[in-house]
Structure 1
């Protein structure tokens, strides 16, 4: 697995990130009404909103898998995921598309591609993407790039299979929506929700 150098400048103040996440979370809890254009029409805010929706979905999967015996993710883990979403949603570099017409220029932003990668990974059952990055000169058409991402999987789901499914989903999405020359998609499973052993009921047990 490659050691990747961060390509983003330092993010905003952590308090600002936390405030944004809290505001968007409250908006989601309210059923996304009344419509808030500052959230629904802002790429960074929409990225956080999608991740919060995915976290809810993951929570539902945990309940179905007997959540009473599973440890809930701690605040630092949740803030880490949402902090990564906030930073990666920024526009970043421009990634050009080829064009046969002189003077025409078509492009997609790096932030949009990272969002695409995240959505593809999150589409795999029982998986939540943590961090994703693109290494290589994406501004040079045809240049080779490497995709790297981390993910959490639910207890009981095969880590190997999950990583392969994420890799396939990301590869398919990039083929459909970009012209990137991807030479490697590195998927690292960094967290697993592991079931705790139920506490023994000692009431009425023989002494």
Structure 2
């Protein structure tokens, strides 16, 4: 795991009797190390997003959304890092035709750039605030699926993410991590821009693994 990973994530993994090895400043650094070590030690590398089985498993989120939805959906907003979650959801729910909107931080927008240029684009560096989606390059399979299935993109700033964390806390008394609040920030911006009211939309709040001291960063944002 990257050295920038919140301690709360480390501890959650350690409670499952796994050993956490902190490597590099980004997911890509950690992945390169894990692959190399797997080859050297004869271990199996399990990718977090770029494999059909992983994508299929993440697609079950789409199945849950459809089974719990009342009435037709206008759009589903999904946080994007490597693209596994949105690729799986899109592959499953496209049969009922809601729009699938990807949401990325403005400083970690590798999928947006890749789809714009028609090929995978590797970023030199990524912002670490939303560490759960801080990926320099999307997967090959996830990129292929997203080219076919995704309808749009919303890029959001750190301040917008902080505002959504604040909104969720004030309305539900739940605290989201930045990557977990990403889709909510995107949905709010999208609905405001297009003047959507009374529509059924879904924003996937995908995580709450944030160290307590990071709340100081959130409260310092201009959204307050």
- Normalising by structure 1, report the TM-score: 0.27
- Normalising by structure 2, report the TM-score: 0.26
Q: Which has the higher helix share?
A: 2
Q: Which has the higher strand share?
A: 1
Rg: which structure is higher? Answer: 1
